[in-house]
Chains A and B, each alone.
Chain A
Amino acid sequence: MSPLVSIEGLSVAFNGVPVLHGVDLTLQTGEAIGLVGESGSGKSVTWLAALGLLPRHARVAGSVRLDGREILGAPQASLDQVRGGRVAMIFQDPASALNPVLTIRRQLCETLALHRGLSGDAVKAEAKRLLDLVGIPDAERRLSAYPHEFSGGQVQRIMIAMALAGQPDLLVADEPTTALDATIQAQILELLSQVRRETGMAMVLISHDLGVVAENCDRVAVMYAGRIVEQAPSAHLFADPWHPYAQGLIGALPPLDGPRRRLTAIPGTVPDPQKMPGGCSFAPRCGLVEQACLRAAPRLAPLGDGRTVACVNAEASRKALLGIAAE
Chain B
Amino acid sequence: MSALVRVSTVSRTYTMRAGLFGRTVDVHAVDGVSLSIPKGETLGLVGESGSGKSTTGRIVLGLEPPDRGEVRFDGAPIAKLATPQWRMQRARMQMIFQDPLGALDRRLPVAAQIREPLDIHGIGTPAEREARVRELLRSVELTEQHGIRYPGALSGGQRQRVVLARALATWPDFLVCDEPVSALDVSIQAQVVNLLTDLQAQLSLTMLFISHDLRVVRQISNFVAVMYLGRIVEYGSADDLFARPEHPYTQALVSASPAPGRRSAGRVVLSGDPPNPAARPAGCAFHPRCPRAIARCRNEVPQLASIAGDRQVACHLVGGSQVHSRDAA
Contact = CB atoms under 8 A, between A and B. Distances in A.
A2 interface: no
B185 to A, nearest CB: 4
Contacts of A250: 260
A210 to B, nearest CB: 5
B190 A235 contact: no
Interface stretch (B26-34, B57-65, B172-180, B208-216): B208-216
B102 interface: no
Contacts of A257: 242-243, 329
Interface stretch (B6-14, B108-116, B130-138, B269-277): B269-277
Contact of A254 (B155, B158, B187, B216): B216
Contacts of B260: 210-211, 214, 238, 250, 253
B273 A239 contact: no
A270 B185 contact: yes
Interface string A133-162: 000000000000000000111100000000
A155 B123 CA distance: 52
Given A183-B274, A254-B193, A214 B188 contact: no
A21 B269 CA distance: 39
A265 interface: yes
Contact of B263 (A208, A215, A265): A215
B258 A214 contact: yes
B119 interface: no
A249 interface: yes
A263 B259 contact: no
A216 B186 CA distance: 19
Chain A residues touching B, range: 35 or more
Chain B residues touching A, range: 35 or more
A253 B189 CA distance: 9
Interface of A is mostly: helix
A263 B194 contact: yes
Interface in B149-197: 155, 157-158, 185-191, 193-194, 197
A186 B269 contact: yes
Contact of A208 (B155, B186, B212, B329): B186
Interface of A: 38-39, 151-154, 181-187, 189-190, 193, 208-212, 214-216, 235, 238-239, 248-257, 260, 262-267, 269-270
10 contacts: A151-B274, A186-B267, A187-B269, A189-B264, A256-B215, A263-B193, A264-B190, A265-B193, A266-B190, A269-B158
* Shortest Cβ-Cβ A-B pairs, 9 listed: A211-B258, A252-B190, A238-B260, A38-B185, A265-B190, A186-B256, A181-B48, A254-B219, A214-B260
Given A182-B257, A215-B259, A269-B155, 18 more contacts: A39-B185, A182-B212, A183-B256, A184-B48, A186-B252, A186-B267, A186-B269, A187-B270, A193-B264, A214-B258, A215-B263, A254-B215, A256-B257, A263-B193, A264-B190, A265-B190, A269-B157, A269-B188
